[in-house]
Every structure is written in C-alpha cells, then in structure tokens.
Amino acid sequence: MHDRDRERTRRRLLDAAFVEFAAHGIAGARMERIARIARCSAGLAYNYYGGKDELFDAVQSDVAGATALEFDVLDLPGYAGRLYDLQHQHPELARLATWQRLERRSPVSRTADVEAIRSAQESGLVSSRFPAEQVLQLVLAVASMWAAAPSSSDHGVRRRTVEDAVRRLVEP
Amino acid sequence: MHDRDRERTRRRLLDAAFVEFAAHGIAGARMERIARIARCSAGLAYNYYGGKDELFDAVQSDVAGATALEFDVLDLPGYAGRLYDLQHQHPELARLATWQRLERRSPVSRTADVEAIRSAQESGLVSSRFPAEQVLQLVLAVASMWAAAPSSSDHGVRRRTVEDAVRRLVEP
C-alpha cells in the first residue's frame, strides 16, 4: 500500500513536471509549483528526484517511452507525417524537445537511423541526392516545420505539405 | 558628453543582454549579470530599460536591424543559403529567435513575403506545388535545419543541402 502511494505520487509529479517544463523550460520551472499541482510538498519532490535537473531527465525518459514513434526508412514521407501528427496532437512535446536543445545543448544522436538511410540509399530505395545524415535532418526539419507555430485550421494542408515535401526530397 | 556616456552605456547593456538572453533565455537571464558585464549598476539597467522583458524587446529590435537579410523570392535557394550562413556565423541569433518563440509564443508574421511568393507562383517563377505560406515555412525550416546542432566540419555539405533541397522544393 505504501509502495502504491509512492508510485502514485511519483506519477503525479511527472505529469505536473511535464506541463511545467513544457511551459517554462528548465530555468523557468518552479519546483514549488510542480509540487503544489502534484499535491505534495516541495521537500518530497526533491526527496524523490534530487532536483530540478534530475526531474527534467525523468520527464524526458517518461515521455520518450510513452510516445515512441518507430523510424521507417522505407516510408520516410509517412514517418514525417506521423511525426507531424504527434507534434500537432501534443505541442508540449515539441516545446520540451526545444527546451532540451536550448538549455542542455546536447542533440540526440541517431546513428542507427542514419545507417538505415545509408543502406536504403545503397539499395536505391532512397535517393542518393543528399548524404544520409542530411536526409535524416531534412525529414526531421520538414516534419517539425509547423511545430513552433500556433495551431490553425490549416492542419490538412500542413500535413500534406510535410508528406509531399519529404517525398520530393527523398524519392529516388 | 553626458548624452554620449548614456549612449555608450546603452550600447554596452544591449551587447551584454544579447549574450545573456541567447545563453539563458528570458526566464533564465539575470539583470545583475547583464549589468555587471556592461559595467553599470542593475539599478541603472532597470532605469534605462524598465525591466527584463523590455530589455529583451530592445535586444530583438537591435539585432533585427543589424542582421536584416533581404527576402529574395526570385532566388529562394540563394536566400535559404544566406539565412543558413547567417545562423552558422551567429548561432546566438537562432537561439534568440527560439527563446522568443518558446517564451513569447508570438511568431513573426511575414505577410509581405507570402504575397511575394504568391505572385511569383502566378507568374510561374515558383512552383505552385505548395500553397505560398507553406513555401515560406519550408524555406525557413530547411534553412534552419542545422541551427540547433553543434557546428561541425560539414559546413559545406550542410550549405549545399540547404540550397539544393529548397531548389528541389520550389523550382517550377
């Protein structure tokens, strides 16, 4: 029973911290506010996670697990479209990733995906117009091109642009 | 003489604030640190600019004036390449723009540029594959695709990718 309470408090802290970090970033987030929303004391929050930076890390791995999107080298336009959808449905995810980039300066390295692209290029399934790591970055940039903008009624047009643009860039 | 001192202090404050905001954003920036680097008191900084938010605005318009890059609808690949160069030479500019997006949530509207693209599409100079506002967003997304990444020896490859990708997306 005690363990279950602990588990629930941790869950509430992660959920509250996700909202707080997405809104304010690491420097702007307040542990007191997170604790208040999670209905526990700031002391307990520090006790469970050590500090704001550690809590940010915990939120990031929690979110990464919950929203994993499988990379699909054989359908890069479709992958870009799904990544666009994910960011459209959860704008806080894109904000969190951007805060991470700005405040941590440690881009996630995706060596396996670059390798998959390289193989697909060798087999002629993806155009060799651009080097493999440039292809991955193009796909991510186009998929995220609207991530910072306010949502609009243009959703369908935006999604079609993402898929069509990636298709035009990667088709052999 | 008094006016010139005032002007110099303002200049030092803007320069110090630019570095501070690019590194830490609005929430993370410290007026005390800015004032110390500008060799004046925090009180004087508040006196000149009113507060951190107003100082951020002042830095933004200062930077916008100094780094204006003319939009060129007749050479969108070249424009994208020059925008890439600007961000490559001044990575703090891209950081500042990203902080602005995250902390202010007010994207800059570029109606005139969208109109220029629409006219170019009507004259057949730019492909009508994508609606005009999607074209502008694609150009900006591709030009900025490496803005968040650490600089690398790949500079030439990155620049070529930006130009070639935009060309492929917009050529009629």
Record: contact A142-B146, CB cut-off 8 A: no
Record: contact A150-B99, CB cut-off 8 A: no
- According to the model, what pLDDT value does residue B127 have? 97
- According to the model, what pLDDT value does residue B17 have? 96
Mutate to test the interface with A, among B21, B161, B163, B170 (most CBs of A within 10 A): B161
- Reported as a pLDDT band with limits 50, 70 and 90, residue A95 is confident
- According to the model, what pLDDT value does residue A108 have? 67
- According to the model, what pLDDT value does residue A115 have? 96
Complex confidence, ipTM:
0.84
Mutate to test the interface with A, among B145, B160, B171 (most CBs of A within 10 A): B145
Average pLDDT over residues B63-85: 92
Query: Which residues in A lie closer than 8 A to residue B148 (C-beta atoms)?
Result: 101, 107
Q: Token pair for residue B12?
A: 């030092």
- According to the model, what pLDDT value does residue B131 have? 96
- Reported as a pLDDT band with limits 50, 70 and 90, residue A137 is very high
Q: Which long-range contacts (CB under 8 A, 24 or more apart) does B96-100 make?
A: B96/B18, B96/B21, B96/B22, B96/B59, B96/B60, B96/B63, B98/A98, B98/A101, B98/A102, B98/A148, B98/B147, B98/B148, B99/A102, B99/B21, B99/B22, B99/B25, B99/B26, B100/B56, B100/B60
Check if B105 contacts A (Cβ < 8 Å): yes
Q: State which fold the B2-66 domain adopts.
A: Tetracycline Repressor; domain 2 (1.10.357)
Average pLDDT over residues B108-127: 94
Q: Indicate whether B119 pLDDT > 60.
A: yes
Query: Which residues in B lie closer than 8 A to residue A98 (C-beta atoms)?
Result: 98, 101-102
Record: contact A103-B161, CB cut-off 8 A: no
Record: contact B25-A24, CB cut-off 8 A: no
- According to the model, what pLDDT value does residue B35 have? 96
Chain B residue at shortest CA distance from A108: B149
Query: Which residues in A lie closer than 8 A to residue B28 (C-beta atoms)?
Result: 25, 27-28, 103
Q: What is the CATH number assigned to the segment(s) A73-170?
A: 1.10.357.10
Closest chain B C-alpha to A26 CA, distance in angstroms = 9
Q: What is the pLDDT of residues B24-41, one digit of tens each?
A: 999 889 999 999 999 999
Average pLDDT over residues B53-81: 92
Q: Indicate whether A152 pLDDT > 80.
A: no
- Comparing C-alpha atoms, which of A141, A72, A146 is closest to residue B165? A141
Q: What percent of chain A has pLDDT over 70?
A: 97
A2-66 and A73-170 share one CATH topology?
yes
Q: Indicate whether B154 pLDDT > 80.
A: yes
- According to the model, what pLDDT value does residue B140 have? 93
With b meaning 16 or more CB within 10 Å and e meaning fewer, what string describes A29-45?
Answer: bebebbbeebebeeeeb
Closest chain A C-alpha to B161 CA, distance in angstroms = 7
Question: In Å, how far are A113, A169, B68, B149, B158 from B165, measured between CA atoms?
Answer: 20, 7, 23, 18, 10
A81-85, A159-163, B4-8, B63-67: which has the minimum mean pLDDT? Answer: B63-67
Q: How many CB pairs under 8 A join A and B?
A: 93
Q: What is the pLDDT of residues B40-52, one digit of tens each?
A: 999 999 999 999 9
Closest chain A C-alpha to B12 CA, distance in angstroms = 24
Q: Indicate whether B153 pLDDT > 70.
A: yes
Domain ranges of chain B: 2-66, 73-170
Check if B157 contacts A (Cβ < 8 Å): yes
Q: Indicate whether B150 pLDDT > 80.
A: no
Closest chain B C-alpha to A40 CA, distance in angstroms = 25
- According to the model, what pLDDT value does residue A106 have? 67
Check if B66 contacts A (Cβ < 8 Å): no
Mutate to test the interface with B, among A52, A142, A154, A159 (most CBs of B within 10 A): A142
Query: Which residues in A lie closer than 8 A to residue B156 (C-beta atoms)?
Result: none
Record: contact B141-A142, CB cut-off 8 A: yes
